[in-house]
Amino acid sequence: MKKWNLIIDVAKCFNCNNCALAVHDEYYDNEFPGISASMPRLGHRWIDLIQRERGVYPMIDVVTLPVTCNHCDDAPCLKAARNGAVEKRPDGIVVIVPEKAKGQRQIVDSCPYGAVWWNEEKSLPQAWPFDAHLLDAGWTKVRASQSCPTEAIRTLHVTDDEMRRLVKDEGLEVLQPEAGTRPRVYYRNLDRYTKALVGGSVAGPVAGIEECIAGAAVSLVRDGRKVAETVTDTFGDFRFDGLGEGSGAYRLEIRKSGFVPGTLDVTLGQSAYLGVITLASAAA
């Protein structure tokens, strides 16, 4: 049986908020019996866009992580609900049934992703229901996918076997895998948000003037083993991403024909810019 899944590419999201606005437009002042009560005008973000800044000037990376109901196969909200207030549909979608969920604030507290919101006026827990009413009517994409200008959000209707192959082939990850909830919202390039980067600039004397050095080979070494390699760009800049925060000691090794090789020891806590690393001329 085919089930609904979502893939979010963190590298393609630039915080335009179209997905959040599309959800608000669909659910504010609209009732969908069995699926969703009206979303409040203010206060709820059923697709929330969380930003994180990595690095330091002049090498700064601002990353946006869209977070929503993960439609988990082992959903904590389902376990916390009483009287069938949360349903797991055969197509994979989790629905908080508005007619049954009134007063059940424990459903909000059960979500490890903070994706269930409390509607104070209605005394009702609410979350994004994967636009189930639209998909039931024959739509092939949720509105968040339709509204995304970079196609950072993809709606998939595939079997579990097909989804497992996609996870492997595209290197997809889920939020908080340690929670064991088996989400149906997957992420590409999640390390852009969860991991650290380290970068710098390489310069050296050219005809007696210090210039940016393009095309220098930069290796990142740990415990005597090369873990990553890149080359400097036109401006002499380099960058390594996907490193564990607080992962400790590394050594940079820099080589460029005509210059003396350079090294720099780095202890990585959070993302860092190492400044300008100057190589000496081999002719000196």
Task: For CA atoms 71, 77, 83, 85, give the dihedral sign.
Answer: negative
Query: Smallest Cα–Cα separation from 117: which of 188, 23, 33, 187?
Result: 23
Residue 208 Cα distances to 236, 259, 280, 281, angstroms: 17, 13, 11, 10
The CA distances from residue 115 to 87, 111, 126, 204, in Å, are 16, 7, 9, 51
Please state, in angstroms and rounded to a whole number, the distance separating the CA atoms of residues 88 and 71: 8
* Residue 72 identity (one-letter amino acid): C
Q: Other CB atoms closer than 10 Å to residue 236's CB: what's the count? A: 20
> Max Cα separation, the chain?
81
Q: Which residues contact 214 (CB under 8 A, 6 or more apart)?
A: 232, 233, 234, 235, 236
The Cα 279–Cα 131 span in angstroms is: 57
| pLDDT, mean over the chain | 96
Q: Which residues of the chain have pLDDT under 50?
A: none
How many helices (H) and strands (E) are present in the chain, helices listed first? 7, 17
The pLDDT, as a whole number, for residue 283 is 80
Are domains 3-193 and 196-278 of this chain identical in fold?
no
Fold for the domain defined by 3-193: Alpha-Beta Plaits (3.30.70)
Q: Give the residue among 84, 123, 88 at the shortest CA–CA distance from 102.
A: 123
164 SS3 class: helix
Q: Where are the domains of the chain?
A: 3-193, 196-278
- Using CA atoms, how far apart are residues 114 and 98, in angstroms rounded to an integer? 19
* Cα–Cα distance measured from residue 97 to residue 85, given in angstroms and rounded to the nearest whole number: 5
State phi, psi for 24 to the nearest 5 degrees. -65, -40
Architecture of domain 196-278: Sandwich (2.60)
